[in-house]
Amino acid sequence: MGYRCRVKDGACATSAALTHVCNLCRSVADVYDVDERGNALGIYFTGQFAGPLFGPIFGGFLVERWGWQSVFWLLFVLGCLLLLLVVFAMEETYREEKVWGKGTMVELEPDQKSETTAVETKMVNPLSSLALLRHPFVFIAATATGFAFGGMFAIENMLPELYTNQYNFSSSLIGLSFISPGIGEVVGSLISGKLSDIFLNRARAKRDGIAVPEDRLAPNVWPAAFILNPLSFFLWGWPVQFGWNVWVSIIMFGVQCFAMVQVFNPVMSYLVDAVSDRGASVTAAANLVRMIWTFTLSLIANPMTRAVGAGWVTFFFGMLNLVWAFLVLLLKIKPQIRKFSGY
């Protein structure tokens, strides 16, 4: 019981850290133009998603050898090292969108050029990003990532208890079982980023070099959103509930994570492109919605599993993702939804 409680605490801590780190999406948007931003974001998200690949493996063995406290001491040390790297090694990437625009640099007149750029000082309002959620396209996209990401986190929360009771897994074996979802996330992120730029550049070529944010919602999104993601939810919970071979659920969790990334990365790239002058703010707003759903789905997952079984719980998660996928499709075919908000 103590181990499962610490897993929950760790999931909450990871969510809080991810909310902060994901704001670096804006730095990627600052450095890369629109035609190569998808691949850059794919590589960036790969670093984040590598955590579920390596973290549980090391964590499982640490818990067995030195207890659950050792996991948090390791995270503390790594967190301090990363903080030092960010403070002393990471350069500022901010750029004026009035100069750079949405992916195309605007040449300044000779008398306008200077070695330094004057930036207007504005009062910082940390809650201003929440106002972006009033726009329907931001809320729909943020909730789509919340259901996909939150469902994955809920399975991570359910897995230790179910695998311990159903398959007699030890902590180390539970950690090794996360290799499958970790590979799904890392491979999926790299593929998604590459495909995002390929499809966007094809669409630009048809419009004489003009790109629109909806180009990010590329063809690779829809098989994942409508088939792979909901189906993998169904085929994770029911096999565990019926006691099928554990490899079925392990493989299906990897498929779910691969599908999740095919939705997550393009939708986040869509938001950054659509609100390019406030990329950090829209990312923060989307993170808030995503983490609220991650918290909610993770919180109800185990009580619901004990009440109705893992099959019905993951069926519910799959249906949430399937129904919301139709609204994401609406964003693709109806750019007027974005334009209605002035973007």
- The 10s digit of each residue's pLDDT in 323-342 is 999 999 999 999 999 999 88
- The mean pLDDT value for 51-68 works out to 78
User: What mean pLDDT is predicted for residues 182-198?
Assistant: 88
pLDDT at 326: 97
pLDDT value of position 26: 60
Q: pLDDT tens, 84-129? A: 988 888 777 665 555 444 444 333 334 443 444 444 556 667 677 8
What is the pLDDT, as a whole number, of residue 170?
Answer: 87
pTM across the whole model: 0.78
Q: Check residue 5 and give its pLDDT.
A: 40
Q: Distance between CA 186 and CA 157 in Å, rounded?
A: 20
Could you tell me if 262 and 220 are in contact, meaning their C-beta atoms sit under 8 angstroms apart?
Answer: yes
Identify the three-state secondary structure at position 53: helix
Decide if 203 contacts 215 (C-beta within 8 A): yes
The pLDDT assigned to 121 comes to 55
* pLDDT value at residue 329: 96
Q: Which two tokens stand for residue 236?
A: 């994770």
CA proximity to 194, closest of 93, 273, 275, 269: 269
How crowded is residue 326: how many other Cβ atoms within 10 Å of its Cβ?
Answer: 10
Band of pLDDT at residue 29, cut at 50, 70 and 90: low
Determine the pLDDT at residue 97: 52
CB 201 within 8 A of CB 308: no
Q: Which amino acid is at 44?
A: Y
Q: At residue 135, does pLDDT exceed 90? A: yes
- 243-295, pLDDT tens digit by residue? 999 999 999 999 999 999 999 989 988 998 898 778 778 888 999 999 999 99
CB under 8 Å to 114, separation ≥6 — which residues?
Answer: none
**Closest by alpha carbon to 15, among 148, 159, 150, 171?**
150
Q: Span 31-54, mean pLDDT?
A: 71
Question: For 271-337, what is the HEC assignment?
Answer: HHHHCHHHHHHHHHHHHHHHHHHHHHHHHHHHHHHHHHCHHHHHHHHHHHHHHHHHHHHHHHHCCHH
Task: For 259-289, give one letter per residue: b (16+ CB within 10 A) or e.
Answer: bbbbbbbbbbbbbbbbbbebbbbbbbbbbbb
Give the whole-number percent of the chain exceeding pLDDT 90: 44
Q: What is the pLDDT of residue 246?
A: 95
Give the mean pLDDT of 302-330. Answer: 96
Name the residue among 26, 13, 17, 14 with its Cα closest to residue 283.
26
Provide the 8-state DSSP code for 90.
P
The arithmetic mean of pLDDT across residues 214-241, rounded, is 94
> How many angstroms separate the CA atoms of 100 and 37, rounded?
14
pLDDT given for residue 12 in this prediction: 42
Q: Report CA 1 to chain centroid distance, whole Å.
A: 29
